[in-house]
Amino acid sequence: MNPNATEPTADAAAAYLEALHGRLAADGCTVTTPRWDDRRVVTGSRADRKVRWFGTKAELFVFAAAVPEIDVATLGEFTAWAMRYAKSLRGGIPGARNAALVLPALVSAHVRPEAAQWAAQDARILDTTLISRPLTIETAPGAARTTMYRGRVVWGGMFTGHVLEKASLYFP
């Protein structure tokens, strides 16, 4: 084995992040690459208003990073970081006819079952106007399995269809 060769599982995660970058840009997101714990994060953001939301602006923030293994602690830390980061980027006055939706995703070839269960369990809410739906993305060459909460939420329930539509587009 070549000691300089990249591990195939790391290649799959990197390829997934590159493809995500393209999907975010194609959908009109502003795409950046900040750092989290010395890891490159693909970040996309966009804002939408729809008549059915009664003039409320929905800001969507997507954060994705590759890690060697996804466990509950790492996913929880990344989700908390993503929510704080999104809060710092928000436009307008929080709660004044605008809401923020956060999709923090960790990508790895190794997802612990309890981490996937934690992601599928429920949305996380910060300050009643910042709603997060953590995701685990398990990659293998040519395939990916996405786990996230797909149910409704009490706060921000009118945005459920929108955020699930965008999550399906960005994380197929």
8 Å CB contact between 136 and 111: yes
- Identify the pLDDT of residue 91: 61
Phi and psi torsions of 120, nearest 5°: -80, -15
Average confidence (pLDDT) over 67-93: 90
pTM for the model = 0.86
Average confidence (pLDDT) over 149-171: 78
End-to-end CA distance of the chain: 33
Give residue 3's pLDDT band: very low, low, confident or very high (50, 70, 90): very low
